[in-house]
Amino acid sequence: MGAFKETKLPADAPAAQKALGWIDDRFPLTKLWNDQWGRYYAPKSFNYWYIFGSLAMFVLVLQIVTGIFLTMHYKPDANLAFNSVEYIMREVPWGWLVRYMHSTGASAFFIVVYLHMTRALLYGSYRKPRELIWLFGFAIFLCLMAEAFFGYLLPWGQMSYWGAQVIVNLFGAIPLIGPDLSLWIRGDYVVSDATLNRFFAFHVIAIPLVLLGLVAAHLIALHEVGSSNPDGIEVKENMGPDGYPVDSIPSHPYYTVHDLFGVSVFLLIFSAVVFFAPEMGGYFLEYNNFLPGDPLKTPLHIAPTWYFTPFYSVLRATTADFMWVLMAAVAAYVCFLWLKSKLSFVTKVIIAVIAIVAIIGMLPQVLDAKFWGVVFFGGSVMILAFLPWLDHSPVKSMRYRPSWHKYLFALLAVAFVALGYLGTQAPSVIGTIVSQVATLYYFAFFLLMPWWSTMGTFKKVPDRVVFHAH
C-alpha cells in the first residue's frame, strides 16, 4: 500500500477547484468523467441516428424519477390500486402530469430503443468487435419488455387486468410445466392481489436494478472498443501522434451539444404528447384502462400495448392452418442448409434430426398451434440476439452494400410496422393472412441472412471516415 498523496493546488485556486481536488484524491470523479465522456474520443462523422443512445439514457432517468413520485401515492392492493391512480390524477398536485409523463415515457422509451436498434442495423454496429455491446443491448431490451409488462398491470384497469390474464395464460401452453408455471407467475389461480404485489415488486425494485447494471455494462463495453460510425470503419486503426484516432473528436463539448439538441427536440415532441394527446388515440393509454378491472366482464378486444404487438401478431398468426405452411418452410430451410451451408456433416445431421422432431411436433395430433405460437413469439424476439453471427457481409455499413440490400431492410421495417399495427386490431381474415406473410418474411430475413448478406456487388469502403457537415 502506497502512502496517501494529496494534490497540491495554488493557495489562490478557486474554492470549486479545491473541492474537486479534494474529492479526486479520494474518489476518481474527474477520471470517470474523462474516461466515459469528457475525453472519450468518438468518430467525427456521427449523424443524428446517433442521438438515440443518449436519448434512451435520458428517458430512463425520466422514468425512474416519475416512477419514484408515483410510488409515493400508489397502493399495490387489488381493492385500492385503481382508486389510488385516480387519486394521483385528480387530487395530488401535478399528479396528472407525473402520471402522464410516466405513461408517455414508457412508449417514448420503446420508440427511442427501436430507433437505436434500427441505427445498429443500418450501420452494422453489432459486428465485430461490438458483439458484446449488442448482447448487452439485447438484454436491456428484454428487461424493458419485462418492466413494461409488470408495470402494465399496476393501474388495475380493464385492459391491464385482462392483458395480464392473457399473457400469463400463454405460459400455460408449454407442455408439462405450463400450468404450474402460470400459477407460479400469478401467485394464484387467477390474476389477483398476489399477482399485483409481485408485479409491483418486480416493476419497482428487481427489474430496474438489473436494468441499471446492464446499462452500465453496455456503456463500459462501448467505451472499451469504441463507437461505430456511419461508414463502418474502425477509427482506432488510424491513430494520431497524440495517441487518439485521427478521425475522432472529444465527446465533450462536441457531442454534448449534439445530444442536447436531440434532447431539446425530443422534449418538444414529448411535451406536445403529454399535454395534448397523452392517450395517443388509445395506443399509449387504452380507453378500457380508464375503467376498473372487472374479472366478470371481458373487453371485446384484448391486446397488449403497441410496443409488444409486432411479436404478439406473430403469436396470433400461428393458426392451425398456418402450421402446414410452417412445416413446409422448416423442411425447405433444412434442405437449403444441406445444399448451401458449409457446416460439418455431423452438424447438418443434428439440425436435420431437430427439424424432423419439430415437424412431427407441429402435427395437430401432437402439439396444438397455441404452443407453437408461443414458441414463434419467443423466437421472434430471441433471434435478434444472434444478429452479429448471422450477418456475413464483407462491409458493415449500409452505405457500401448493394442497393437491393436496402430494399430488404426496408421490407423488414414494413413487415415489422404491419405486424405492430395488426396486433392492435381485432382479428380478421385479411389481417391474419397479412400477418402470416409478414411473419414468414421476418424470420426469412434473419435465417437467410448468412447467404443474402454476402451476395451482390459491394462498394469500396474508404480508408478514412467520410464527414458531411449537418
**Residue type at position 375:** V
Whether 14 and 26 have beta carbons less than 8 Å apart is answered as: no
Nearest to 58 by CA among 260, 273, 214, 269: 260
Q: Is 252 flagged in the annotation as binding?
A: no
pLDDT per position as a tens digit, 206-249: 999 999 999 999 999 998 898 999 998 988 888 888 888 888 99
- Quick: pLDDT tens for 155-169: 999 999 998 888 888
Which residues belong to CATH 1.20.810.10 in the chain? Answer: 34-290
CB within 8 Å of 117: residues ≥ 6 apart: 137, 141, 384
Query: Is 470 labelled as part of a ligand binding site?
Result: no
- Specify burial of residue 241 (Cβ count, 10 A radius: 0-12, 13-18, 19+): exposed
pLDDT one-digit tens code per residue, 266-322? 999 999 999 999 999 989 998 888 999 888 888 888 888 999 999 999 999 999 899
Q: Which residues pair with 292 in a beta bridge?
A: 157
Class of CATH domain 34-290: mainly alpha
Q: Model pTM? A: 0.93
Long-range contacts of 87-91 (CB under 8 A, 24+ apart): none
**Does residue 132 have a pLDDT over 70?**
yes
Tell me the percentage of the chain whose pLDDT exceeds 70.
Answer: 98
Q: What residues does 245 pair with on adjacent strands?
A: 239
* Cell of residue 278, nine digits: 397523452
Mind listing the pLDDT tens digit for each residue in 177-200? 888 888 888 888 888 899 999 999
Is there a contact between 153 and 173 (Cβ–Cβ < 8 Å)?
no
Report yes or no: 414 and 245 within 8 Å, Cβ to Cβ.
no
User: 469: pLDDT confidence band, cut at 50, 70 and 90?
Assistant: low
The pLDDT mean for the chain works out to 91
Cβ(308)–Cβ(163) below 8 Å? no
The amino acid occupying position 292 is P
CA distances from 11 to 6, 22, 123, 297 (A): 14, 14, 51, 75
Counting every residue written for the chain, the total comes to 470
pLDDT given at position 13: 82
203 is in an annotated binding site: yes
> What pLDDT does 467 receive?
67
